[in-house]
Amino acid sequence: MIINKRLLSIGVLSGWLLGCAAPVAPPSKEYLLLDAKLEQVSALPTSAQSVQLMPVVVANYLAGNDIVLVSKEGVVHRSQQNLWAESLSAQLTRLTQQRLENTLPQLSWFSGQRLPAYAIAELSIEVDKFYADLEGQVHLSGRWQLMSAEGEVWRTQAFYVQSSLNADGYTVLVQTLSLSWFDEVVNPMANQISQVFKSP
């Protein structure tokens, strides 16, 4: 019985030592895109119309929760400790609708299952790039298209944005991605949409 107790003690001690020796992964951080200027935007005049914002479609390599960096050679680096708290598609869809609702308040914006019974115009957005490279440059690219209720293409536009990070770190990266999205993608898009729905 004494031998068994000693063996048990040695086993517990060995397990504890192995546990201490094993590398401990740092805790992960989760990030959200934020529209820091939402309350400062100026409303653009339009006629009263209804528009359905389709879910923003992102490229497959951006669809996971890991924040990616991409080298000039096209090598994708996925962070295991720095993650999106919500899918990129869901964030971009929700935040884009909020900005458009504030910028174009005379338009009724619909998304998801909340749709009127009649046919309405449709805005679709695709994102090909939404990352930083290893040299500290942020890249956003894609396209958007506004269609009438009858399927006529009213306006279509490709976008490409490149800006520099002013400091290291994922917090700065997320802030720069957010700022670039709203200032360089959503604002110009809203201006063009307001031209389509000009007040008589």
Q: Is residue 18 part of a domain?
A: no
Chain segment 54-84, per-residue pLDDT in tens: 999 999 999 999 999 999 999 999 998 999 9
Q: Is residue 13 part of a domain?
A: no
Q: Is the pTM above the cut of 0.95?
A: no
Domain count, the chain: 1
CATH number of the domain enclosing 152 = 3.40.50.10610
Would you state the pLDDT for residue 17?
A: 33
Domain that holds residue 72: 47-196
By the 8 A CB rule, do 96 and 40 touch?
A: no
Q: Is residue 135 part of a domain?
A: yes
Would you state the pLDDT for residue 193?
A: 97
Q: Is residue 36 part of a domain?
A: no
Contacts for 59 with CB less than 8 Å, ≥ 6 apart: 127, 128, 129
By the 8 A CB rule, do 180 and 161 touch?
A: yes
In whole angstroms, give the CA distance from residue 31 to residue 91: 11
Chain segment 13-32, per-residue pLDDT in tens: 334 334 444 456 677 899 99
Establish how many alpha carbons lie within 13 A of residue 43's alpha carbon, considering only the half-sphere containing its beta carbon.
9
Among 199, 179, 192, smallest CA distance to 130 is for 179
Q: Is residue 69 part of a domain?
A: yes
Contacts for 82 with CB less than 8 Å, ≥ 6 apart: 28, 29, 31, 66, 67, 170
> Mean pLDDT over all residues of the chain?
87
Q: Is residue 39 part of a domain?
A: no
Q: Which residues of the chain register pLDDT less than 70? A: 1-25, 113, 117, 200
Q: Is residue 9 part of a domain?
A: no
Q: Is residue 154 part of a domain?
A: yes
